Chains A and B, each alone.
Chain A
């Protein structure tokens, strides 16, 4: 079993990416479980997934990297016992720190062959995010195994280069993919990275 953690800020496109990845794995004939965490008591992502025909396990009202850490570990064990999937994709809240989620998955006792973090950021608001919350974004991206610069379909000239330059400076070792999870543009290269 492989576990993928989608790490990115609020609105960066994690849920859209989750659906794309789930579809891709389903087409490959792999059993995939989706675990979605939402920060508020009121969740919308679960409804979004159901509306699109996906069935996900929801963990609302808290953050799985802190207040719901125990809940996450229990949920993972239950998924392993009940579903025994080939793939688990975890979508934490947009304010979670993915490296903490990975630590929790590692200590949950599930038999994972590999745990990977996909960092995702969007071209739309990257500049303003960095100007206001750079330290937080650095911590959020720090654990990523590779990074997606999402929403290339709406990128203005020069935006992608600026983001790439920031990542190259802060995280020179991380591989970067420029994609549009919504349109599917360049998603094949991402699928190539997945187990």
Chain B
């Protein structure tokens, strides 16, 4: 066979499929499965110009009896063979053998077609690095080595699969997906990921023990707020409110100068938690609105 094209290569054909189980099988499920097949068929036509090949599905019981579906011509639609009364759970196989499309993309589209079908399904994966949560975040890098340049939020019952750098769906194997409490980045994200912020720099100063919804260029910005009594307090890295002890807060009369020597040409309004201790100065007095461009470098704007 060496050097000689296989018949598949000669025809530029590919074949792929998925297996699994479908819950609450009934006429509605049947229609949904047919719709998933048509979705794949339409995609093949959009890619290759025509559906050359077939898209098949079989829905069976454990004893092997069941029904089959076959799509070879988009204008004819899905042919169904056999009958199957409603079932609590059935096994299914879904496969495509077609020409002139990319195999990985085909596989991807088939997954999506099933996922979007509304079927109560469960797909067999070769190896599931199981995790049960939803990611809704973009982050440039994950410690698993994959480039998750995407949002992954697929949930197939208890298995999350991700659209990884191959363009395929895989069970995510990164540590942060395995365990919500531990992220491979070294931070403790004891929460559902909901990052909505851009930052180019790697965060290295705090543990995120909360959900944060903030935009910042750098981390460790705190916000000073005023109580009714006029006392300035800081929502600090412990998640608590503390009285601000900085000189600039202490001295209402001096908006321009802080004891740390930095020019705080801004108004303090930080409003989030972080656990890095500020060690450049002690804030021992009230302060008022003032701006600064730079402070000690890690806790203040």
- Residues of A that sit less than 8 Å from B by CB: 9-11, 38-45, 47-48, 50-52, 63, 65-67, 69, 93-97, 100, 124-125, 128-129, 132-133, 136, 139, 154
Known: A41-B17, A51-B81. A95 touches B8 (CB 8 A): yes
| Contact call B66/A129, Cβ cutoff below 8 A | no
Closest to B79 in A: A182
Residue among B16, B54, B97 with most chain A CB within 10 A: B97
Per DSSP, chain A at the interface is: loop
Among candidates A10, A42, A51, A67, residue contacting B6 with C-beta atoms closer than 8 Å: A67
What's the least CB distance linking B24 to chain A, in Å?
A: 20
Q: Known contacts A10-B97, A43-B93, A95-B13; decide if A51 and B52 are in contact (CB<8 Å).
A: no
Q: How many A-B residue pairs have CB under 8 A?
A: 117
Distance in Å from the Cβ of B167 to the closest Cβ of chain A?
19
Question: Is B98 interfacial (CB 8 A cutoff)?
Answer: yes
B82 within 8 Å of A (CB atoms)? yes
Query: Taking A51-B64, A52-B82, A124-B73 as contacts, is the C-beta distance between A43 and B7 under 8 angstroms?
Result: no
Q: State whether the Cβ of B72 lies closer than 8 Å to any Cβ in chain A.
A: yes
Chain B residues contacting A40 (CB-CB under 8 Å) are: 15-17, 95-97
Q: Is the CB of B53 within 8 A of A94?
A: yes
Q: Which chain A positions have C-beta within 8 A of B98?
A: 10
Chain B residues within 8 Å of A100, by CB: 7
Q: 7 A-B contacts, Cβ less than 8 Å apart?
A: A10-B13, A42-B17, A42-B93, A50-B64, A66-B6, A96-B7, A133-B52
Task: Say yes or no for B19: interface residue by CB 8 A criterion.
Answer: yes
Contact B97 A93 (CB under 8 A): yes
Q: Which residues of A contact B33 (CB under 8 A)?
A: none
A39, B72: Cβ atoms under 8 Å?
no
Would you call B68 and A66 a contact (CB within 8 A)? no
The closest CB in chain B to the CB of A65 belongs to: B7
